[in-house]
Homo-oligomer: A and B are copies of this chain.
Amino acid sequence: MDSIKVFAPATVANVVCGYDILGFAIEEPGDEIILRKNDSNQIIITKIEGDNGKLPKDPKKNVVSHVIRLFLEKINSNQGIDIELYKKMPLNSGMGSSAASSVAALVAINELMGKPFSKQELLPLAMEGERIACGNAHADNVAPALLGGLVLVRSYEPLDALKLPYPKDLSVVSVHPHVDVPTGEARKIIKERISLKSAVQQWGNVAGLVAGFCNNDLGLVSRSMEDVIIEPVRAMLIPYFYEMKQLALDNSAIGFGISGSGPSVFALCEKKEIAEEISFKIKELLNQKNIESEAFVTKINDEGARVIY
């Protein structure tokens, strides 16, 4: 095998009360990558499309070439690789753009080199991609992008990421308002100390959310989709957040929240028709406020990154 094409999906991390521990993959959008072996011993980015020129092509600074280099070092290979990256989702949007690229690159290089590792074993490398992309090796985007489905990152030391059951027919609306909220900034405004009282409220909701997903109890999922710690702070950075939330809940969303660190938002819905309506109404609201946006109505992607050919 001399070349390969892989898709990796966008993800919703920090699922409402599940800050830093819960994320899920969605069917679309996602990134595609093509890798080809070359004879030069070098990792060369030959093409990046869809980033409006924003991603570094210098292989020492690019997430994709970084994780490929880490992978090849791990197997003591000096194989040369040509990379074509097709960004099919917005950067810095809260939809796990860097995670999708890292994961696509790792799944592709793993296949190309004879699949020495399982997806779970690729996870720590994918987290290193996040470290250079946003300064923090968090796993709640890369783990669902890699494994698919709804993923719990129970612990970082030792790393323990696992797929949770969830009702298979849920629909998801993701809306990306075109406003700038750099991930680093969004992290910085979170307080380092919180009250025990609000922490107890949060883990009560985390427990309810997980139980609701595991037992197919959408009423419980809905009641538990409440974030008393992160959302009140980060919502300030997202124009019309509470108006969008009210709109979604008034139109029968199971729950609504910030996707990752924003500015994208998402709604979880029982049916596609509900999701379509909420998507339309939120776009309409933002349009009235002169904010451009793009919206995706999709489902949870249970497979994660996959080989296209």
CB of A139 to closest CB in B, whole Å: 11
Please, which residues of chain B bring their CB within 8 A of the CB of A21?
200, 203-204, 207
- With a CB–CB cut-off of 8 A, which chain B residues contact A22? 207
Interface size class of A (residues with CB under 8 A): 35 or more
| Residue-wise interface mask of A (146-170) relative to B, using a CB-CB cutoff of 8 A (1 in contact, 0 not) | 0000001111000010101100000
Q: Does A220 contact B (CB under 8 A)?
A: yes
Q: Is the CB of B201 within 8 A of A199?
A: no
B162 touches A220 (CB 8 A): yes
CB distance from A234 to the nearest CB of B (A): 13
Give min CB distance, A170 to chain B, whole Å. 17
Asked if A211 CB lies within 8 Å of chain B CBs, one says: yes
Beta-carbon nearest neighbor of A197 in chain B = B192
Answer yes or no: A308 CB below 8 A from chain B CBs: no
* B contact residues around A200 at 8 Å (CB): 19-21
Interface residues of A in 159-184 (CB under 8 A from B): 160, 162, 164-165
Given A152-B211, A210-B214, A214-B214: A194 in contact with B196 (beta carbons within 8 A): yes
Contact with B along A180-219 (1 / 0, CB 8 A): 0000000000111111110111111111111100110000
Q: Which single member of B196, B210, B223 contacts A155 (CB below 8 Å)?
A: B223
Contact in complex: A205, B165 (CB < 8 Å): no
Question: A18 touches which one: B17, B192, B207 (CB < 8 A)?
Answer: B207
Rounded to whole angstroms, the CA-CA distance of A202 and B209 in the bound complex is: 15
Residues of chain B lying within 8 A (CB to CB) of residue A229: 196, 199
The answer to whether the Cβ of A98 comes within 8 Å of any Cβ in the partner chain is no
A196 contacts B207, C-beta separation under 8 Å = no
Complex Cα gap A211–B164 (Å): 7
What's the nearest-Cβ distance from chain B to residue A5, in Å?
A: 34
Any B CB within 8 A of the CB of A224: yes
Min Cβ gap A217→B in Å is 9
Among A54-111, those with CB < 8 Å from B are: none
B152, B193, B195: the one contacting A207 at CB < 8 Å is: B152
Instruction: Return A94 CB to nearest CB of chain B, in Å.
Output: 18
Question: In chain B, what residue has the closest Cβ to A162?
Answer: B220
User: A195 and B193: CB pair below 8 A?
Assistant: yes
Question: Within 8 Å CB of A208, what residues of B?
Answer: 152, 154-155, 160, 162
Once the chains are docked, how many angstroms separate the CA of A22 from the CA of B206? 12
Nearest first, the 6 closest Cβ-Cβ pairs linking A and B are A214-B214, A154-B208, A203-B203, A199-B199, A203-B206, A21-B204
Given A18-B203, A20-B204, A21-B204, 6 more A-B residue pairs with CB atoms under 8 Å apart are A21-B203, A155-B201, A191-B196, A206-B206, A207-B209, A214-B214
* CB-defined A-B contacts under 8 Å, sample of 21: A18-B203, A19-B200, A19-B203, A20-B200, A20-B204, A21-B204, A152-B207, A153-B204, A154-B205, A154-B207, A160-B208, A162-B208, A162-B220, A165-B215, A192-B196, A199-B202, A199-B229, A203-B203, A210-B211, A214-B214, A214-B215
